[in-house]
Structure 1
Amino acid sequence: MLMIRSLRTQLGPWASRASFSTSAAAVEAERTIRDGYRNDWSKEEIKSIYDSPILDLVFHGAQVHRHVHKFREVQQCTLLSIKTGGCSEDCSYCPQSSRYDTGLKAQRLMNKVCCTLGMLEKQQALELKKAGLTAYNHNLDTSREHYPNIITTRTYDERLETLQYVREAGISVCSGGIIGLGEAEEDRVGLLHTLATLPNHPESVPINALVAVKGTPLQDQKPVEIWEMIRMIATARIVMPKAMVRLSAGRVKFSIPEQALCFLAGANSIFTGDKLLTTPNNDFDADQLMFKILGLTPKSPSFSEEIPVPESERCEEAVYVAG
């Protein structure tokens, strides 16, 4: 306290009280560490965390992460597309939509995977559970308010209903979103608020940066900056402490130091392999080098079987393999 008072004295009129106030990230991280899981977050609470000074946000995201997880462990997952292109949906970011001319050639469904894809009815979810499905990915993509600007062929409530059926069937939920879709910061907060106030938090929360693909309506979107990813990751870590927060699509654009900040802020899962279905990703050797430089260790898989995923990170049909 003596040091702070002395510094205030030296700075004189330039030292506002706000400069030395405790950030919301600090307050809420401490409460998360003390009280654990909660799903009664207000949108204002999450916004105050998201708006905290970036260094505070990284530090306190790291505090929560180290309290709940083995902080050097990072889960490595891969995606295998079982049906490429020819999708009837109109997701504005997706090169696989048949409505856009992206130069992608549609392929038939692979013979090696048989699963129900896309929206689920209750009975379908139960049948998938009976067949041995352990996890299901179904991203919300963005906030409820911005969603109609991105997708019109399926509703936000239908997505939430699918997550409900998956959860009720006893299947783990993987659900996150994409930033860089032309949304406002309020929409990013809204997405996190929706996820964090589900009856149970998703076991996995992918945070994707838009990979703008020529031929899609979002081809000219401004690239996502690393600070935007860090804010999303650290806020997600504080409000959903037990979730695997996955640094997902768009990672290929970020350097090793930039990715290191994401891991420090609370990310503990990545997709590995030189291609994420139809878009580029960091290759295996590059990731191995990064793990060595940063002292990261692969997280032991919680399951070894292949897991059918209906939407992956961009609504494509895929198999998700955790390892």
Structure 2
Amino acid sequence: MTDAQNTAPLRTDWSMDEIRAIYYKPVLELIVEASQVHQQYQATGEVQVCTLLSVKTGGCPEDCAYCPQAARYHTDVPVHKLLSNDVVLDAARQAKEGGSTRFCMGAAWREVRDNRDFDRVLEMVEGVNEMGLEVCCTLGMVNEYQAERLKQAGLYAYNHNLDTSEENYSNIITTRTYGDRLNTIENVRKAGISVCSGGIIGLGETDDDRIAMLHVLANLPQHPESVPVNALVPVEGTPLAEQPRVSVWEMVRMIATARILMPQTMVRLSAGRQEMPVSEQALCFLAGANSIFSGDKLLTTPNPGFADDKAMFELLGLTPRKSFKAETPCGGTVDAPATAQTPALAE
């Protein structure tokens, strides 16, 4: 990483035309530029390893067209109530042993309700936090009070994806608004919780929809600390079951553009990795991706396991990122020595 004076400034005032100009660059030029920005702000070759567990599956009242957990779609995803604390904490221990430094818990809820289930999730957050893992949740919409309770329980990050552009949003989801999404992100930020927000490509959107989504993320008052870039995993029984697979070049364009727009952000190569050979994933890392989900499942869809990722890390010379490692504005790092975990991917 370079000194502060050689580092491109952070911006939250990108225009659509500026982002288009970046996004449509010849792909090799785009990769080179993104890689240079990545080297300025991040420890290249260092990748955050996260694990995502569905703690409450199926039966969701939303109509997200990509999601097999929506109650209105006929998929093979079994419905199960909120897992017990013991099961969740055991899964977190296994994730830590496997090399993960962030443990994410997802519940198929439209919104958090102030009830016993939320109290139990708060207990889970406390338990995972005590293990020295960064704990993340994705529970649907939260208000300011709920976000504050999550923060007090030890929540490190909250995921709430924009999914797509505001213009395309109603084609994918009708049971909530784009404004609802942004309100939750604002509530999370006010509580002092790290923001994780990205989207999905392959929903039938246009390139301009992808650019518009990045425009919103890059122009938030503060960039999200994490931006997942997901490739749609089509699931039989959902409205998007017949969508074609997203190409690696589409993923590279999204990742590289996100890296240039939001240099300090962790850009996560998320859903869709199961279908990507190591050579394609390597292109994404070269373009600025520095975070993955590892573990056999990503909520309900297949995902590479720890052994596969260990082999990939060894082949590509990648190093797992420590937990609780924050980037400073000058590109240096600040670690939390009392809780930081130096990981090693499991055999």
1:301 aligns with 2:301: no
Q: Which string of whole-angstrom CA distances, capped at 9 and with x for unpartnered residues, describes residues 143-197 of structure 1?
A: 0000000001110001001000110111110000000000000000001000000
TM-score (norm 1): 0.82
Structure 1, gaps ≥5 residues long: 1-31, 304-320
Structure 1 residue 192 and structure 2 residue 214: aligned?
Answer: yes
Partner of 2:300: 278
Q: CA deviation at 1:286?
A: 1.2
Q: How far apart, CA to CA, are the structure 2 residues paired with 1:35 and 1:79?
A: 33
C-alpha spacing 1:322/1:222, structure 2 compared with 1 (3 Å) = farther
Q: Say yes or no: does 1:36 pair with 2:58.
A: no
Matching of residues 1-323 of structure 1 within 5 Å: 34-112=7-85, 113-115=120-122, 117-302=139-324
Deviations 1:296-315 (A, max 9, x none): 01011117xxxxxxxxxxxx
- CA root-mean-square deviation: 1.7
Distance in 1 between the 2:234 and 2:177 partners? 23
| Contact 2:151-2:192 within 8 A present in 1 as well | yes
Aligned equivalent of 1:25: none
The answer to whether the 8 Å contact 1:92/1:150 transfers is yes
Q: Conserved in 2, the CA contact under 8 Å of 1:82 and 1:110?
A: yes
User: How far apart are 1:118 and its partner, in Å?
Assistant: 1.3
Aligned counterparts of 2:76 and 2:309: Cα–Cα separation in 1: 29
Per the TM alignment, residue 105 of structure 1 is displaced from its structure 2 partner at its CA by 1.5
> CA shift at 1:95, angstroms?
0.4
Contact 2:22 2:257 in 1 (8 A): yes
Instruction: Give the TM-score normalised by structure 2.
Output: 0.77
Structure 1 Cα separation of the partners of residues 314 and 148 of structure 2: 42
Aligned residues: 275
Deviations 1:234-293 (A, max 9, x none): 000000000000000001111111110100000000000121111011122111111011
- Letter of the 1:103 partner, please give it: D
Amino acid at match of 2:262: M
Query: In the aligned structure 2, how far is the partner of 1:273 from the partner of 1:126?
Result: 29
Note the residue ranges of structure 2 that are not aligned, 5 or more in a row: 86-119, 123-136, 326-340
Identity of aligned residues (%): 60
Runs of 4+ in structure 1 off by over 6 angstroms are none
Structure 1 residues 3-43: Cα deviation after superposition (integer angstroms, max 9, x where no partner)? xxxxxxxxxxxxxxxxxxxxxxxxxxxxx964421100001
Q: CA deviation at 1:104?
A: 1.5
Query: 8 Å contact 2:7–2:41 — kept in the other structure?
Result: no
In the alignment, the residues of structure 2 paired with residue 209 and residue 89 of structure 1 have an alpha-carbon distance, to the nearest angstrom, of 20
